[in-house]
Amino acid sequence: MARPERSLDSTPSPLADFASDLRRLREQAGSPKYLQMSRRTGRSRTALAEAAGGDHLPNWDTVRAYVEACGGEPARWLVRWEQLRDLNRAERTGGSATSPTVTEVPLLPHSPPAAGECPAPAGALPPPCIGQSASQQPGAPGAAPPDGDATRESDVSIVLHLWREQRAQARQCENHRAITSAIVVLICAASATGSVVDPTAALRDLFSGVVIAFGVFGAATCHKYYERHQMHMTEAQALRRQLSLLRPTLGIESGWRGAREEHSARYPLLYRLRLHQLWVAIHLAVSVVGVVLLAINSG
């Protein structure tokens, strides 16, 4: 039987409210065990449990993993987490008088609204309308206009975070490709050496076969990692275009396009040569070496 979570601090605070909302999200997901959540996300169950402990503000990667494991939408939680982070910074620097307020962004869209609440529209990130009168609701006659600059700034923050995440995923694909290539080359080198020095014909053929198989495997793996890399880069480019629309005065898209055209004009031949093609060619060449060794040993 799972051990029940300890109760949160009874003193009202934005951090305690944030932890309480995380717990409620987990309850709506069927109260999965932290071990199950850890297996789904790769984060330690201790970190996931502490995220909803209310003692300190967890880092964003842990919050995102917690929300994803419970079937939530991380983008809806990012604004709230950034506001808490800024509030903590202001408190540490003694700026409590000018500390930012935490906007209660609706984070549990699938839960039924309580008495006095009005549900948030799908896909939006509006401020709460708990306990507001009809004249105070957003869009009602006489209501104050929404803070467009603050909303736009939150949108920029979300898009920029997602862009960084896609770039990090693309970089991780390239790192995995490099590690895989190094392992393949080491195995093929050891097998080629064994094929040359081993006096047993059967083992020489086996070593040659290993070189051929791992060479082909390395080529296929490099091509697959390139496909994954391109997927994340395509998503990052779409987010960059969205960021350009949010901040048109920065000229992000036109500046990027101009720099790319200048670079391609400076290196016209190398620009057209894709790096993954070289890696695939190297692994295929290793396979050819295995075929040559097999032919020599058979002869």
3-state secondary structure of 216: helix
Residue 107 is predicted with a pLDDT of: 56
| Three-state SS sequence of 219-273 | HHHHHHHHHHHHHHHHHHHHHHHHHHHHCHHHCHHHHHHHHHHHHHHHCHHHHHC
Tens-place pLDDT, residues 147-166: 455 566 677 888 888 888 88
282: Cβ contacts below 8 Å, ≥ 6 apart: 181
pTM: 0.51
Among 86-100, 161-175, 280-294, the range scoring the smallest mean pLDDT is 86-100
DSSP 8: P
Which of 33-47, 94-108, 122-136, 175-189 has the lowest average pLDDT?
Answer: 122-136
Most confident of 233-242, 247-256, 289-298: 233-242
Instruction: Report helix, strand or coil for 292.
Output: helix
